[in-house]
């Protein structure tokens, strides 16, 4: 398969991809506006391609549709270090922006796993998360202003360069996470953050009971510890990481918690977090200056990929309900006789169940995924914590939204895109 035809979303390798009628590669907002106007006049479905790192299929082309590929809109237009703002074209790579601003003592806080390839526009359109959200929030929290091309080719400006703004509707946050359904983001002004000083500090805590691990996380989140990262691997994933890397990890019976603090309070924050872990019954707690132990988290995906094909699930529940969700996932896995492994951003309740795809049987994996979503929603959770809905979870929307709430979303979609040409049938 060529470019613009599939993204990182998990689909069978032999799936027959839809063939778009044309791919436009704009360099300016005006190019995008002209192209969209053409699609609007001819009622062509439009998909927006950025870096192809999406995990929900939201950027896949439509048969006979128009693809707008944003990768050449990749200029960093301005860095205003005093105002802590940068303005970029939507196709700028996340990591490139971050690298460009560090010389000012600032960084770009959103850091999804795909940041070396994903674009600012794509990560805004999907409200991308990542590992550092417990400290810095998601991408939404770093967007100041947007330039957006609407379905009819008109160009609007949302937000402002001010920290506070109580002027008109918050269109900025309406477009953040709208997954290409309301308009095409061509330019973004984003907030930069002062680089924390001091040495980071990391810790690992092993738990033989998932309830104990859950209590540890709740107490950490409520404590004065200022953690930047708070992650979890299940026991099997921990064992696989250890098998592959011989890091000397004690394999827990239930879960391994991995945390990091940065800034001048790092050691103090890790003190508090380790006390929480011990108090909740951790079987082993280990800590270390620097960010070395974070490697354990990053090695989990390669360890999984080496051992199978997985649908990477993505759901979220309130932090205190994580142990219940994990217990339900174990029940579902047992009932379905299906392997589900768990990695999670436990600090914000965002859980990625890894659902094995056996013998290319995607239907079973998808059914298990839907059952896990249903379980999460019963626990006050959401269909997607950070990957979005796209095409893969579109059928799940009625699990979360009642008719009136879905109707309100569709009314807004229709108001901004009356012909329904932008990413139709996706996200909402």
| Footprint of a second copy on 348-387 (CB under 8 A) | 348-350, 380-387
- 327 in contact with a second copy (CB under 8 A): no
Distance separating alpha carbons of residues 288 and 303, to the nearest angstrom:
23
Number of residues that bind a second copy (CB under 8 A): 91
- 400 in contact with a second copy (CB under 8 A): yes
- Region near a second copy per CB under 8 A, out of 10-18, 174-182, 284-292, 360-368: 174-182
Of 94 and 319, CB closest to a second copy: 319
**CA distances in angstroms from 338 to 9, 110, 310, listed in the order given:** 21, 34, 11
Distance separating alpha carbons of residues 395 and 398, to the nearest angstrom:
7
Distance separating alpha carbons of residues 347 and 351, to the nearest angstrom:
10
Pick from 254, 317, 329, 342 the residue near a second copy by CB under 8 A. 317
Give me the least distance between CB of 160 and a second copy, in Å please: 5
- 164 in contact with a second copy (CB under 8 A): yes
Of 14 and 166, CB closest to a second copy: 166
Pick from 345, 352, 371, 426 the residue near a second copy by CB under 8 A. 345
Distance separating alpha carbons of residues 140 and 345, to the nearest angstrom:
17
Give me the least distance between CB of 167 and a second copy, in Å please: 5
291 close to 200: Cβ distance less than 8 angstroms:
yes
Beta-sheet pairing, 143-149 with 106-107: unpaired
316 class by beta-carbon count within 10 Å (0-12 exposed, 13-18 middle, 19+ buried): buried
- 174 in contact with a second copy (CB under 8 A): yes
Tokens of 314: 């993505």
Pick from 2, 16, 43, 168 the residue near a second copy by CB under 8 A. 168
Site for a second copy in 199-228 (CB under 8 A): 218, 221-224
Distance separating alpha carbons of residues 408 and 150, to the nearest angstrom:
19
212 close to 282: Cβ distance less than 8 angstroms:
yes
391 close to 409: Cβ distance less than 8 angstroms:
no
Tallying the residues shown for the chain, one arrives at 428
Of 42 and 222, CB closest to a second copy: 222
Site for a second copy in 78-117 (CB under 8 A): 80-85, 105-106
One DSSP character per residue, 253-271 reads: SSEEEEEEE-STTHHHHHH
Site for a second copy in 235-264 (CB under 8 A): 263-264
- 328 in contact with a second copy (CB under 8 A): no
- 160 in contact with a second copy (CB under 8 A): yes
Of 25 and 267, CB closest to a second copy: 267
- 416 in contact with a second copy (CB under 8 A): yes
- Region near a second copy per CB under 8 A, out of 67-75, 113-121, 194-202, 289-297: 194-202
Give me the least distance between CB of 259 and a second copy, in Å please: 16
Of 5 and 428, CB closest to a second copy: 428
Tokens of 184: 């095409």
Beta-sheet pairing, 106-107 with 193-194: antiparallel
- 404 in contact with a second copy (CB under 8 A): yes
Distance separating alpha carbons of residues 190 and 101, to the nearest angstrom:
12
- 143 in contact with a second copy (CB under 8 A): no
Of 129 and 252, CB closest to a second copy: 129
**CA distances in angstroms from 237 to 115, 287, 354, 362, listed in the order given:** 24, 20, 10, 22
Give me the least distance between CB of 50 and a second copy, in Å please: 16
Of 26 and 129, CB closest to a second copy: 129
Distance separating alpha carbons of residues 18 and 317, to the nearest angstrom:
34
- 163 in contact with a second copy (CB under 8 A): yes
Pick from 162, 199, 305, 360 the residue near a second copy by CB under 8 A. 162
Distance separating alpha carbons of residues 333 and 390, to the nearest angstrom:
25
Of 167 and 337, CB closest to a second copy: 167
Place of tokens 């770093």: 142
Distance separating alpha carbons of residues 243 and 247, to the nearest angstrom:
9
- N-term to C-term CA, the chain: 28
- 402 in contact with a second copy (CB under 8 A): yes
The half-sphere exposure of 41 on its side-chain side, counting CA atoms within 13 A, is 8
Q: Contact letters (x/-) for a second copy, 35-74, by CB under 8 A?
A: ----------------------------------------
- 409 in contact with a second copy (CB under 8 A): yes
């Amino acid at each position: 398969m060529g470019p613009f035809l599939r993204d990182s979303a998990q689909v069978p390798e032999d799936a027959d991809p839809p063939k778009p009628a044309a791919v436009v590669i704009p360099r300016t907002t005006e190019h995008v506006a002209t192209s969209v106007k053409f699609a609007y006049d001819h009622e062509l479905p439009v998909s927006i391609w950025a870096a192809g790192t999406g995990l929900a299929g939201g950027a896949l082309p439509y048969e006979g549709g128009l693809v707008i590929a944003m990768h050449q809109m990749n200029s960093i237009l301005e860095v205003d270090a005093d105002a802590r703002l940068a303005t970029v074209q939507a196709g700028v790579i996340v990591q490139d922006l971050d690298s460009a601003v560090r010389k000012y003592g600032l960084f770009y806080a959103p850091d999804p796993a795909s940041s070396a390839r994903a674009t600012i526009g794509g990560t805004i359109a999907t409200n991308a998360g990542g590992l550092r959200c417990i400290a810095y929030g998601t991408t939404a929290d770093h967007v100041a202003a947007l330039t957006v091309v609407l379905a009819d080719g008109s160009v609007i400006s949302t937000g402002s360069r001010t920290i506070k703004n109580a002027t008109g509707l918050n269109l900025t946050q309406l477009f953040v996470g709208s997954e290409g359904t309301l308009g095409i983001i061509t330019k973004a002004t984003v907030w930069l953050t002062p680089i924390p000083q001091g040495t980071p500090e990391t810790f690992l805590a092993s738990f033989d009971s998932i309830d104990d691990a859950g209590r540890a996380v709740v107490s950490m989140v409520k404590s004065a510890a200022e953690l930047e990262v708070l992650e979890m691997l299940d026991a099997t994933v921990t064992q696989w990481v250890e098998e592959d890397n011989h890091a000397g990890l004690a394999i827990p019976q239930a879960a391994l918690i991995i945390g990091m603090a940065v800034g001048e309070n790092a050691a103090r924050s890790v003190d508090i977090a380790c006390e929480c872990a011990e108090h909740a019954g951790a079987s082993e707690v280990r800590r270390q200056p620097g960010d070395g132990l974070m490697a354990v988290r990053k090695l989990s995906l390669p360890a999984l990929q080496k051992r199978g094909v997985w649908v990477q699930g993505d759901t979220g529940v309130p932090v205190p309900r994580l142990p219940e969700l994990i217990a339900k996932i174990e029940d579902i896995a047992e009932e379905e006789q299906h392997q589900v492994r768990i990695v999670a951003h436990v600090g914000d309740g965002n859980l990625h169940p890894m659902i094995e795809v056996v013998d290319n049987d995607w239907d079973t994996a998808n059914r298990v995924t839907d059952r896990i979503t249903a379980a999460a929603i019963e626990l006050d959770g959401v269909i997607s914590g950070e990957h979005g809905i796209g095409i893969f979870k579109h059928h799940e929307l009625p699990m979360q939204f009642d008719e009136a709430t879905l109707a309100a979303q569709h009314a807004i979609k229709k108001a901004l895109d009356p012909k329904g040409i932008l990413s139709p049938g996706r996200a909402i």
